[in-house]
Amino acid sequence: MIDNQPKKIKAYIAGVNLNDPNFDYYMTELANLTEANSMEVVGQSYQNAESIVAGTYFGLGKINEIKAMAHGLKAKVLVLNDELTPVQIRNLEKLTKMRVIDRTELILEIFASRARTKQAKLQVQLARLQYELPRLHPSENNLDQQRGGGYSNRGAGESKLELNRRTIGKQISAIKKELKAVASQEEIKSARRNQSRIPKVALVGYTNAGKSTTMNGLLKEFSDEGSNKEVFVKNMLFATLDTSVRRIDLKDNFSFILSDTVGFISKLPHNLVESFKATLQETKEADLLINVVDASDPNMVQMIRTTQNVLDEIGVKGIPMITAYNKADKTDRNYPQIEGNDILYSAIDPKSIKMLADLITKRVFSNYEEFRLLLPLSAGKELAYLHENAQVLSEDYEDDGVHIQANIAPDDQGRYKQYLV
């Protein structure tokens, strides 16, 4: 049988450990990111040091050791655990005779291959250009090449460098302008959703923790056309970069808006966080956050910390949160079970999904109050608003009007005081 699958490029990963207790976790993450970028990790090295070597990242002895091991394993690419300076990358490429990718470029490449919508593509392009701008080098012949050697003809190189910088500067300005236009369209959609009193719930968390699977589980359980609304799911890092928004209609007349956001990872490049702030707007406007965590991963504590760090960076503060420990089916613990305000569950288990929905209901509808109302038959607009924005428990049409029992949000309670029975 002929294997038509393209051969993966062999990569060797390496990093400098500055006495960081999380270093092993970061290296595991780097290996997963490298695999997510369609490369095969064939080996790894690290160097314990007090500080990074300014010109070469590693010391010369370690560079020679890495070169020998990587070449022996037929690796073509050296992937490094930190963001490097342009000088460090160029010097390492000369010394190792390999292509060198730092952690930031690796994540940018993954994002570029995953972007589907216009907004996501623009956001990735912007982050990549901002990354490339300080890395331009006089010896480069065109904007598509990041690497180059030789320092002859300095004068011509310098003028070419300025031209390239101006070109990238114009591209950055044009993309920012285009992104602003796309963002304003998204803001209009978001404003429409905000006009409704329906609570907003946002799924956040480390990439590949099961956010999209959780959303699909809720859609399958509580929507007649769930399969038509399901979002893309794949067992890989950053399977999707786009925020998906769905309405979940629970069986007891409660509804909420659920958004599934881009996943997080340690050392997420600042330019990417900045570029994706518009995409993460749903998170900032949520009434409740659900931090989905992979309960089967030994690094889950660091993953929770990573999520909190990114939320802090994008300015998400003071929003109530449920920590949802997913993939309990891959552990030996009993599930589903509520643990205080949190839940241990499996997103592919219907019983778990129902328990999660119950927990969401308790958290977002806790300040709703039950009212008995009598609406005139002519108050069709008020009745429609009630159905859209409250939990209608019963509704009876009598000669004197419509008798309604409903749970109403605090902001709407004053609106219906005149109809109290």
CA dist., res. 111 & res. 120, Å (int) = 9
CA dist., res. 254 & res. 358, Å (int) = 10
Query: If we measure between CA atoms, which residue out of 248, 259, 203, 186 comes closest to residue 223?
Result: 248
244 annotated as belonging to a binding site for a ligand: no
148 annotated as belonging to a binding site for a ligand: no
CB 253 within 8 A of CB 393: yes
380 annotated as belonging to a binding site for a ligand: no
207 annotated as belonging to a binding site for a ligand: yes
DSSP alpha helices (H): ranges in 97-133? Answer: 103-114, 118-132
15 annotated as belonging to a binding site for a ligand: no
CA dist., res. 68 & res. 45, Å (int) = 11
φ and ψ at 49, to 5 degrees? -150, 160
371 annotated as belonging to a binding site for a ligand: no
DSSP alpha helices (H): ranges in 200-296? Answer: 211-222, 226-229, 270-275, 281-284
407 annotated as belonging to a binding site for a ligand: no
206 annotated as belonging to a binding site for a ligand: yes
238 annotated as belonging to a binding site for a ligand: yes
354 annotated as belonging to a binding site for a ligand: no
b/e map 251-289, b = 16+ CB within 10 Å: eeebbbbbbbbbbbbbbbbebbeebbbbbbbbbebbbbb
CA dist., res. 127 & res. 111, Å (int) = 10
267 annotated as belonging to a binding site for a ligand: no
263 annotated as belonging to a binding site for a ligand: yes
CA dist., res. 413 & res. 421, Å (int) = 14
239 annotated as belonging to a binding site for a ligand: yes
Q: 139: exposed, middle or buried (C-beta count within 10 Å: 0-12, 13-18, 19+)? A: middle
328 annotated as belonging to a binding site for a ligand: yes
205 annotated as belonging to a binding site for a ligand: yes
DSSP of 313-354: HTT--S--EEEEEE-GGGSSS--SEEETTEEE--TT-HHHHH
Contacts for 1 with CB less than 8 Å, ≥ 6 apart = none
242 annotated as belonging to a binding site for a ligand: yes
3-state secondary structure (DSSP) of residue 409: coil
CB 388 within 8 A of CB 360: no
CA dist., res. 2 & res. 307, Å (int) = 43
Query: What would the two tokens of residue 32 be?
Result: 């997963």
240 annotated as belonging to a binding site for a ligand: yes
**Helices (runs of H) and strands (runs of E) counted in the chain:** 14, 14
129 annotated as belonging to a binding site for a ligand: no
299 annotated as belonging to a binding site for a ligand: no
Q: Are strands 288-294 and 321-326 parallel, antiparallel or unpaired?
A: parallel
Binding residue ranges:
205-212, 238-242, 260-263, 326-329
The annotated binding site for Mg(2+) is made up of: 212, 240
- Binding-site residue positions for GTP: 205-212, 238-242, 260-263, 326-329
